[in-house]
Amino acid sequence: MAEKKDIICFCTGTTKQKVIQLIEDGATNIEKISSATGAVTGCAGCDVSIMELLDEYKTQ
Ligand code: FES
């Protein structure tokens, strides 16, 4: 199983932990995570992984 510290977006070096923290702080969609971290602004290959984290960690 992947570690939370693993990088999820290789273009920006954004970690899973950072994305999970943003979701727990209230980010409800990929646009908010993208604007906070720059993730998805490169190759966009990380979008599916980030959406999976959104599904897993969002509380509403
Ligand atoms: S891996 Fe996230 S934009 Fe390329």
Residue to mutate (ligand 1; options 43, 48, 49, 51; most atoms within 8 A of CB)? 43
Q: Is residue 52 domain-resident?
A: yes
| 3-31 average pLDDT score | 93
Q: How many domains does the chain have?
A: 1
The verdict on residue 37 lying in a domain is yes
Domain that holds residue 43: 16-57
Residue nearest to atom 4 of ligand 1 (CA): 43
Token duo for residue 20 = 């999970």
Give the pLDDT of residue 53: 96
Q: Measured in angstroms, how far is the CA atom of residue 25 from the centroid of ligand 1?
A: 22
Helices (H), the chain: 16-24, 30-37, 47-57
pLDDT-based confidence at residue 48 (cuts at 50, 70, 90)? very high
- Ligand 1 atom closest to residue 40's alpha carbon, by position in its atom list: 3
Instruction: Tell whether 45 is covered by a domain.
Output: yes
| Residue 6 belongs to a domain | no
Rounded to whole angstroms, how far apart are CA atoms 42 and 55? 22
The reply to whether the predicted model has a pTM over 0.85 is yes
